[in-house]
Structure 1
């Protein structure tokens, strides 16, 4: 199949992009890297009247540290998440997750904004934004607002972005030296969507876990924080018994559904295995 005919505009500012969207009455799509949108256009899963190319808007770029918060422009590419030293230092979960995203050709073109705005539940970056307590900066006709990751992902491919609004940037609390992070996923082949993926970020106070943040992907319609497992770990030593109790607590955190690829019981089992591996790595490195 081929995409339907559409008009094209290339705004130079966020304001121009919002105006271009409004001019179509809402029958438009923003495009940057296009790694998800272009295949959807070809299959006519999406058929907008206009494509609005936001890839050349300077306001959507930039990586900077501001008052203890890492600001990432929405046009930050996947490969930058892996290579940029400031991201590696302040948001290590993004750097750890990046090599698992698809393949190099896609990582070279895909953007963090596109990945998070699409909100594919099998995608790595949305779950890591949740684990890091990121805030999403969203621009719209009424101005700019920030939405915490915990309120951003609402349902399957559904986010807090309203029609016509544009994801501008991410604001991520910078990691401290006390933080220990790990990421991994289980997939049939490298580059395939994960059957289960997990990122863990623990703040260690001596031998004790001061705070734990754990997020899973591919376990439901949205990325999921493992709050019960986090509570088990917080305040105690990161030993074998604590890890086993955190694994058991996932029964309260995750409610995966059966599908033709992976039964729900197997997905929960894999999540426990993966969490055990990650926590074990952090314990060994501490």
Structure 2
């Protein structure tokens, strides 16, 4: 590690001011600290958000579940409110990384980082959640803009995420064994407004699959998902799996997610 200025703001206002001045925000640190150790990131100032108590917590708000940005993965996985309202979200959180990652990693940190293979962005997009920040509220469809890129301004912080409750939902992940990130992850949610299918690990960030959504809106079954041909032309290909392999995984994991959502 190298020398840097460490700040621990006690309020959102102070944190936003630090971010506006060029400080790098530190949430759970599961990506940032590793990047710093590898010299892939070298911020002069870190602003640790851990002292801002209003950024943590889970609460029901009508037909929504509101989760603070600094809420740890382990807290989401163990929350009775999450287990009762959106069990698929608790299940997703319970299988992120390992126990140490779940103890330190945060919802807001994962969503703001928008790793193209991360699990939380898939749930946020799959459920059609709303990202609440220090400036505004953004729909998930407008928030994610590609690999490690979001609609956040430099001085804008995620404060909470509002998850609508789904009639049925499930997440299935085929893990890359070394990192435990998703080689392919699929979040399927059946809501009052229709079916949403979000995919992570496939390419340049999380995305919705319109073909799967159209088929599942007509018939919410694994057979319906299996009938959809997955185009691999824009999927990534690397040493972990070809684009064709990822396309097959999207189909298989969607079928499994539908079966899981149906309780099969």
The alignment's TM-score, normalised by the length of structure 1, stands at 0.85
From the superposition, tell whether residues 114 and 225 of structure 1 become closer, same or farther in structure 2 (CA, over 3 Å): same
Output aligned runs, 1:24-43, within 5 Å: 25-26=21-22, 28-43=23-38
Equivalent residue number for residue 13 of structure 2: 15
Q: Distance in 2 between matches of 1:170 and 1:269?
A: 31
Mapped contact 2:222–2:258 kept (Cα < 8 A): no
- Counterpart among 221, 238, 241 of residue 204 in structure 2: 221
Q: What SS does the aligned partner of 2:182 have? A: coil
- Counterpart among 60, 66, 75 of residue 61 in structure 2: 66
Equivalent residue number for residue 5 of structure 1: 3
Equivalent residue number for residue 258 of structure 2: 279
Q: What SS does the aligned partner of 1:256 have? A: coil
Output aligned runs, 1:69-84, within 5 Å: 69-84=64-79
Q: Distance in 2 between matches of 1:130 and 1:81?
A: 17
C-alpha displacement of 1:116: 0.7
C-alpha displacement of 1:214: 1.3
From the superposition, tell whether residues 237 and 18 of structure 1 become closer, same or farther in structure 2 (CA, over 3 Å): closer
Q: Distance in 2 between matches of 1:63 and 1:71?
A: 6
Q: Distance in 1 between matches of 2:180 and 2:146?
A: 22
Equivalent residue number for residue 151 of structure 1: 142
CA RMSD of aligned residues (A): 2.0
Structure 2: gaps of 5 or more residues: none
Structure 1: gaps of 5 or more residues: 205-209
Q: What SS does the aligned partner of 1:80 have? A: helix
Confirm or deny that 1:173 pairs with 2:167.
no
From the superposition, tell whether residues 284 and 16 of structure 1 become closer, same or farther in structure 2 (CA, over 3 Å): closer
**Larger Rg: 1 or 2?**
1
Mapped contact 1:211–1:235 kept (Cα < 8 A): no
Q: Distance in 1 between matches of 2:30 and 2:100?
A: 10
- Counterpart among 231, 236, 244 of residue 251 in structure 1: 231
- Counterpart among 180, 186, 189 of residue 174 in structure 2: 186
CA deviation vs aligned residue, 1:71-108 (integer Å, no higher than 9, x gap): 11101100011110111222333212112211001101
Mapped contact 2:222–2:256 kept (Cα < 8 A): no
Q: Distance in 2 between matches of 1:164 and 1:195?
A: 32
Q: Distance in 2 between matches of 1:239 and 1:73?
A: 34
